[in-house]
Amino acid sequence: MMERELIACAECDLLQLGAPLAAGRALRCPRCHAELKRSHKHGLVYALAFTLASAVLLVISNLFPIVGLSLNGNVVQTTLAGSVRMLYAHGAWPLALLVGLTTIVTPVLQVVAMLWLLVPLHLGRAPWRAAEGFRLFQLTRPWGMTEVLILGLLVALVKLAHIAKVVPGIALWSFIALMLLLAAASASFDARDVWARITAARHGARALPLPRLRARRHARTAAAHGLVLCEECGLLNPPAAASAAAGSAAVSAAAPHPRHCPRCKAPLHLRKPASLSRTWAYLVAAMVLYIPANVLPVMDTSSLFGTQKDTIMSGVVYLWVSGSWPLAVLVFVASIVVPMLKILGLAYLAVTTQLRSQWLPGQRTRIYRVIELIGRWSMLDIYVITMLVALVQFQALATIKAGPAAIAFGAVVVLTLLAAMAFDPRLIWDALESDDVRAH
């Protein structure tokens, strides 16, 4: 039976008392409707099983060819690492670094972090340096993009089918299975359950006392009650004296000597430090790079018929006129519409929050969730380019190289992701709190 506990919503900071949940049920914040926690029946057992299977598939996916291309007796095959090396060899090393990190390094580190934590817990022991393992998992989780890679591969295969015979490799099917297993493992991995088991393994299965509340009239948020939420593991902590005197929660207060969460060792802040400043910095840089990303050529194709330079939009047109209109719509949405909507949405959130607007906070919070959800899908075109560059290397017949827009577009994707991570949605709700509640 799960013990009742104090929970602070990570998106609006509303303080509430949790309740035991039946398996498969979720607890949501009554104010912003964010999911606070979800109960999984045998969740960590399933997470361990899915993670072990993912580890096996990771090896297969990275050792065997993803796809092959056959033209006039010449066969070109590539692995994922081979695609990254090809980008590097052509001088597009920023793109090679981005693809390598998001498709090879991050999934490997994510699986390693989950095994680091889950294997000892399955054996009834506390993991060695559990805080570092948990923070590694939290760090890599947003950057693993296996599902986007699969869609990028499918789009690339459609384009390649018009050039030569496409031969799917073992790694293609392995990556599809890996995508499903990693998603299942991540969904089954419950951070609260993990820390409850670690605490039980270290100190016995005794209930931890609820944090002391600072009595305040009409106070509804954790910050107003003198509590700081750890953004990594969800633990509520009393603030340091310096943090308590630093000022309003709406000003992203932080102690001069930052405290760290006693459980996961992450730095503690009432609000993300310099949240709006960092959001604007990433956002302005993304706006500047969005123009060359769409105007300059994203690919340079050399063949017997000459040289062709393609922009993102011309690639969409090619898919449309070749009859692959569903993929044309997919690429148009992921590569043109989504980055624009992310930039406009984040700018809207930053402006209204900076003006301390109290207008429709619930809807603005939902906009933030949508931006976080769709952010990674803009990487689709980057993965398409990666596969085309790696496979279309028939020397005098045809070769494809990444154009300057590919690097600019990759930078736009990363910058908008960082802007969304820097923005603190709790600042939206701080404008609703009265002055006496916000004071610390």
pLDDT tens by residue, 20-65: 777 677 788 888 888 888 777 777 888 999 999 999 999 999 999 8
Q: Is residue 27 part of a domain?
A: no
- Which residue has better confidence, 106 or 70? 106
Give residue 303's domain range: 275-423
Give me the residues paired with residue 68 across strands.
77, 167
Instruction: Indicate the residue among 162, 178, 203 that finishes a domain.
Output: 203
Q: Is residue 6 part of a domain?
A: no
pLDDT-derived band of residue 155, with 50, 70 and 90 as boundaries?
Answer: confident
How many domains does the chain divide into?
A: 2
How far apart CA 184 and CA 22 sit, in angstroms, is 20
- Is 304 exposed, middle or buried (CB count within 10 Å of its CB: 0-12, 13-18, 19+)? exposed
Rounded average pLDDT over 291-307: 75
Rounded average pLDDT over 372-381: 86
Q: Residue 32's CB: how many other CB atoms inside 10 A?
A: 23
Q: Is residue 270 part of a domain?
A: no
- Which residue has better confidence, 185 or 191? 185
Tokens of 198: 């670690």
- For the stretch 332-375, pLDDT in tens is 888 888 899 999 999 999 999 999 888 889 899 999 999 988 88
- How does the average pLDDT of the chain come out, rounded? 81
Q: Is residue 81 part of a domain?
A: yes
In 209-266, where do the E strands start and end? 228-229, 236-237
Residues 6 or more apart in contact with residue 434 via CB below 8 angstroms: 218
Length of the chain: 440
Predicted local confidence at residue 323, as pLDDT: 73
CB contact at 8 A, 430 and 248: yes
Q: Is residue 52 part of a domain?
A: yes
Tokens of 196: 């409850």
- What is the separation, in whole angstroms, between the first and last Cα of the chain? 36
Give Cα separations from 372 to 57, 152, 377, 417 (angstroms).
27, 20, 10, 8
Q: Is residue 15 part of a domain?
A: no
Dihedral in degrees, nearest 10, Cα atoms 289, 290, 295, 298: 80
CA 349 to mean position of chain CA atoms = 19
> Same domain for 289 and 153?
no
> Same domain for 296 and 190?
no
> Same domain for 56 and 197?
yes
Predicted local confidence at residue 261, as pLDDT: 83
Q: Highest mean pLDDT: which of 198-207, 244-253, 343-352, 389-398?
A: 343-352
Rounded average pLDDT over 213-221: 58
Predicted local confidence at residue 408, as pLDDT: 92
Predicted local confidence at residue 52, as pLDDT: 95
Q: Is residue 11 part of a domain?
A: no
> Same domain for 171 and 281?
no
Q: Is residue 260 part of a domain?
A: no
> Same domain for 285 and 385?
yes
Give me the DSSP letters along 16-39. EE-----TT-EEE-TTT--EEEE-
Instruction: Indicate the residue among 180, 203, 226 that finishes a domain.
Output: 203
How far apart CA 371 and CA 388 sit, in angstroms, is 28
pTM equals 0.84
> Same domain for 316 and 419?
yes
How far apart CA 164 and CA 393 sit, in angstroms, is 12
Residue 257 has pLDDT above 50, yes or no: no
